[in-house]
Amino acid sequence: MAQATKRITAEYTLISKERINGVSEVELVDDNIFEWAGYIHGPQGTPYEDGRFRFRLAYPDNFPFKAPAFQLKTPIYHPNFDPEGNICIGLLKSESWKPTTRVTQIFQAILQLLAEPNPDDPLDASIANDYSNNRSDFIKTAKDSVYKHATH
């Protein structure tokens, strides 16, 4: 716990000092260092470019030996997010998580995934199908979703 607090505090200090492109308003939930919230911005040139998505990042007591949990609170039309906003990327999987991984790397991986969905390892198969076989429909639905949920 002491190790976790020290490391997360250091990460928080770093992220507050040096802004990451595509991430804004990072703050603690209820002053709890183990619960972060903020916004992820859709990368330019993607259907998500006009949207900002509320996120939660929750750290376990034994961080960084166990991965934190990332979740989007704003609905998103994307093959690698489930309806609850959970995500599935190798970096955050318990079996492949590495204690040296920095929080900035997590954000970069998520921004990368928004720019390039991975339809081969989907959490939502119908969206993945749409993305692979019906790209124009996919783009339209994703944009509609952004305007409906992610532009305020």
Task: Supply the minimum distance, in Å, between the C-beta of residue 90 and other proteins.
Answer: 11
Whether residue 119 lies in the annotated active site: no
Total of residues contacting other proteins (CB under 8 A): 15
User: Quick one: which of 12, 49, 50, 66 contacts other proteins (CB under 8 A)?
Assistant: 66
Q: 115 Cβ partners below 8 Å, 6+ apart?
A: 43, 45, 46
Catalytic residue among 37, 58, 88, 91: 88
Q: Tokens for 141? A: 């639905």
- Contact (CB, 8 A) for 12 and 18: no
List own/partner pairs for 142-145 with CB under 8 A and 24 or more apart. Answer: 142/47, 142/48, 142/77, 142/78, 143/47, 143/50, 144/77, 145/75, 145/76, 145/77
- The residue (of 61 and 116) whose beta carbon lies closer to other proteins is 61
- The residue (of 15 and 142) whose beta carbon lies closer to other proteins is 15
| Residue 19 binds to other proteins (criterion: CB under 8 A) | no
| Residue 99 binds to other proteins (criterion: CB under 8 A) | yes
| Residue 68 binds to other proteins (criterion: CB under 8 A) | no
d(CA 130, CA 78): 10
- The residue (of 100 and 126) whose beta carbon lies closer to other proteins is 100
Per-position x/- string for 78-97, each x denoting binding to other proteins as judged by CB under 8 A, each - no binding: ----------------xx--
| Residue 65 binds to other proteins (criterion: CB under 8 A) | yes
- What are the catalytic residues? 88
